[in-house]
Structure 1
Amino acid sequence: MRGLNVCVLGPAALIVTAVLIALTPMTSNAAVLDAAGTPSAPADVTLAADSDSCDVTDAAITWGLKESLRSYISGTIANGEWAVSDGATYETPNFGWTAGSGQLDAGSGTLAFDGSLRLTGHDGILDTTLTGLEIVFDGSTTANLVFDVFGTTQEGLPVNESAVEFATIDVSGITVADGVATLAGAPVVLTEAGSEAFGTYPAGEEFDPITVTFSANPECMPQPQDGNQALLSALIIVGAIIAILVAIAIVLILGRRRRRKRAAAM
């Protein structure tokens, strides 16, 4: 019985220790150099800041919506146009929104923008307005692009929807340096709700990349962590458990051999 306790309880304790170690987040205090060669905090470390949240008043967006859509609307088939108002702008080939405001806390929050974009064509059959633009962050690597959508779709169907989660934005490439958060050329994908309200394109359609900037610090808008970290941690856990199970098997086999030798000697 005593030999069994040593052979089993000892390795069992090792399993528990190994799993706890593997589950412990791996962080590094090493500095990371930004593009200018200036040391900054690594992706999983938050720098100390004057406050835990950011009051944003200067957010700006540059976005072409969708190049092929612009070409279609301005072409001879739709024979249409687009118009911006209430603060939105257009400078070929991008639409712009400025003076966005809101609050962010540890990467979560909403930035709201004034400005409307109206798309018309097909002799008035298409008459869709996008307004009430918001970018909603939830602390993950994906943010939601939200619009109020009203008018008629390209098929002439009426639409009047508020706070439509129009598209998703991949924000994994966001950087924070010198007090400015920058998301440059981020992928934008139309959602199911966006497809239903906007028409023309199915969910999953890629729209033009978007660029967003606003004042921030690493604490209120930290850079998202590397998505491979969770996979690495899982592999470490599995590897540790396999190694310990192999060790247990070896110990048990050796223990049985010893007991057999003792029994044979008696």
Structure 2
Amino acid sequence: MHIENPSPPPEGCIHCEVRGHVLLIGINRPAKRNGWTPAMFRQLAEAYTRLDDEPGLRVGLLHAFGSHFTAGLDLPVMAEFLRTGQKVIPQGLVEPHDYGLTGYRRRAKPMVAAVKGICFTVGIELMLGADIVVAADDCRFAQMEVQRCIMPTGGATLRMAERAGVGNAMLHLLTGDEFDSAEALRCNFVQKVVPAGRELDEAWRIAERISLQAPQAVVATRLNVLKAIELGQAAAVADFIPVQQRLANSEDAAEGVRSFIEKRPARFTGK
């Protein structure tokens, strides 16, 4: 899959492109190994907000230009924000790490991430905030904040233990060690590992397949999984009947029945 790489400004940018019902969201500062700046964080939140707000968009695909996903924060640029607690993302937008930060929206639509090369700190947290991750087999991962007297605050302390168990989470969080794609797969931080250079193609295949399903059902299913994780089984079960009733009365549900009877792929509109 080829995506034209526009020349970014020195502070980097987030480049968006729509293909079908998929919003491609590209991290674009390859000259600095995609090191994160305030402008990039703001634009990423704007892209995630666009995904949720535009009815024609059904899935996001987060990827990176250049050889690496990201080396993490551009620390000299970001240090003042860390010291003061100043927010780099304006409130009211969808917060890309998606762990329920006060003042920000939660993402409703699914996100697939394609990671490659170096994927440090905020890169891991962004992929853990996505729903499905495809990793190249050449990835180098590290949650190394403890090496800089920083605590990970983008979701790693929440999601590493959830995915891999407390012991595995502590191993990587407290040592700040570097690990490879095989270890990331063992820890359930990523869902697929493919040969380097094929990660974007595989992520696109998954995103496109999701985009062909009934959009309302995709969102409802995703949110129910997250509700079960965050609020418990009873809270998720309580949504089963009312959500199912709402879906069953939609135009897409009627199309689902027609396509079943007519033995053809469904053509969903999101209504």
TM norm structure 1: 0.21
More strand by share: 1
Question: Greater CA radius of gyration, 1 or 2?
Answer: 1
Bigger relative contact order (CA 8 A; separation at least 6): 1
More helix by share: 2
